[in-house]
Amino acid sequence: MGGPKPTRVSNRIRELRADRELTQADIASRLGVTRQTIIAIEQGRYSPSLEMAFQIAHELKVPLDQVFQYRASQDQGDDAN
């Protein structure tokens, strides 16, 4: 079995949680999901639904695009550099 399957959506949940002193369990209980789901999202192993993405941003008190970033492709990222 290889490493985790990457998604093109990256996020700053861990960093934003740390700023607000929130644990994975805190966010999970506020959203009614398992802590494992929050871990999977933070590690890029699961892309949440749009609704959950908005809920996470709401709990972290920032706009959605400050939490999640979409990387269209590696080539486009390289072109930008």
Partner 1 sequence: MTDDEAHVPMTGEEKTAWVYGTVVLLTSGTYFAYMGTQLAQRPAEDIDWAIPMLITIGASIAGVIVGTIVSAIGGAVWTGIRGRFEEPDFTKDERDLAIKRLADRRSFAFLSLAMAGTLALAMLDVDTFWIGNWVFLAGTVGAIVEVTTKVRAYRRGV
The residues binding partner 1 (CB under 8 A) are 1-7, 23-26, 32-37, 39-40, 44-49, 52
Q: Shortest gap between Cβ of 27 and partner 1 (angstroms)?
A: 10
The one-letter code for the residue type at 32 is G
Q: Shortest gap between Cβ of 15 and partner 1 (angstroms)?
A: 12
Contact, 12 vs 65, CB < 8 A?
A: no
How far, in Å, CA of 79 to CA of 10, rounded? 19
Closer Cβ to partner 1, 47 or 62, answer by number = 47
Q: Shortest gap between Cβ of 2 and partner 1 (angstroms)?
A: 8
Both tokens of 54, joined, read: 């908005």
